[in-house]
Amino acid sequence: MSEATKGFRVLATRLMPDAVEARFRAEFDAVPNDEDAALDQKAILRLAEGCRGIVCTPTEKFDAETIALLPESVEILATFSVGCDHIDLEAAQARGLVVANTPDVLTDATADTTILCLLGAARMAQNAERILREGRWGRWSPREMLGVHMSGKRLGIVGMGRIGQAVARRAQGFGMSVMYHNRRELPAEDAQGATFYAEPAEMLPQCDFLALTCPLTPQTHHWLNAERIKLLPDGAVVANTARGPVVEDDALIAALKSGKIAAAGLDVFTGEPKLDERYLDLGNAFLLPHIGSATVETRNAMGNRALDNIAAHADGRDHPSRVA
């Protein structure tokens, strides 16, 4: 803690985990959102008055209009997330607003959740649990509750950043052979033994399992569409822990209904917390409410990284993870 951080007024748009919230209030001139209610543009602009920093989360949109309307005093936006698709980075850059995020610290938790989605979907865990909870568990049966094997199968990863690489490492523990599609080929030491495909059309026909771990950008919006689904082997299993709009819902739902895709594990949804309700009726959809990074350790580390970014800014040091 320094004199500079003590006098640095910072709005946090959401309540953070207890330990992080305590640090926030002790270290900065803190403007917390004690009600933890979602802040709309009007509320953000009002609370940000006189603030030099804002800690935000993916639940608040900082589009070009909001950024243009921010009080002059705001110098830095530190998001409590690795994803920055809720922030118009170009508009931030044009206004001279520093943007920082929280990479690295959520890699393991999100990769674990990706494996959970692949495995949960492949083994139809949601159906098995429902049968048990509803008291419909009869005698053990050689024929019922059959999923498909993940071990030894072929996995394609779309987006081989830190999280994609961590998924590849885990998949090797299942004896899977791993391929990836990425904007660029990785050096061998980062590729984790996975094979690079510049063309999705060449990778998809080999993917028994497909994991979407890419950032949401104009290029990845609706990346998994009807055309690409057609290229997958019949009965493929898909997981999305990236962002909802990376998947075209109409196409995925149709493929889940027809069995072209045997099962999907989804942690993220277009328009969340609302989601396309047709997913709720699909027995072959394993659904989670965006818990990719939701462990105590990870959320504390994310909050601390967001505050580290603000503290570095206040002290005139390099930001640990600046994106704009």
Residue numbers of the site for ligand DGY (CB under 6 A)?
Answer: 58, 81-83, 106, 292-293
Q: How far is the CB of 147 from ligand DGY (least distance, A)?
A: 26
What whole-number distance in Å separates Cα of residue 99 and Cα of residue 93? 8
At 54 the three-state DSSP class reads: strand
By C-beta, is 5 or 13 nearer to ligand DGY?
Answer: 13
By C-beta, is 55 or 176 nearer to ligand DGY?
Answer: 55
At 100 the three-state DSSP class reads: strand
Residue nearest to ligand DGY (CB): 83
By C-beta, is 104 or 227 nearer to ligand DGY?
Answer: 104
Q: How far is the CB of 149 from ligand DGY (least distance, A)?
A: 29
**β-strand partners of 87:** 62
Of the candidates 21, 75, 185, 272, the residue annotated as catalytic is 272
By C-beta, is 81 or 220 nearer to ligand DGY?
Answer: 81
At 230 the three-state DSSP class reads: helix
Instruction: Tell me the CA end-to-end span of the chain in Å, nearest whole number.
Output: 25
Of the candidates 162, 290, 299, 313, the residue annotated as catalytic is 290
By C-beta, is 16 or 82 nearer to ligand DGY?
Answer: 82
Mark whether 243 is an active-site residue. yes
What whole-number distance in Å separates Cα of residue 225 and Cα of residue 221? 9
Residue 210, H or E segment: strand 209-212
Strand order in the sheet with 195-196: 195-196, 177-181, 154-158, 209-212, 236-240, 261-266, 285-287
Print burial letters for 67-103: b (CB count within 10 Å at least 16), e (below 16).
Answer: beebeeebbbbbbbbbbbbbbbbebbeeeebbbbbbb
Q: How far is the CB of 188 from ligand DGY (least distance, A)?
A: 28
Q: How far is the CB of 84 from ligand DGY (least distance, A)?
A: 8
Report residue 106 as tokens: 């959520």
Query: Residue 277, Cβ neighbours under 10 Å: how many?
Result: 7
Of the candidates 243, 299, 313, 319, the residue annotated as catalytic is 243
Q: How far is the CB of 233 from ligand DGY (least distance, A)?
A: 29
Active site residues: 243, 272, 290
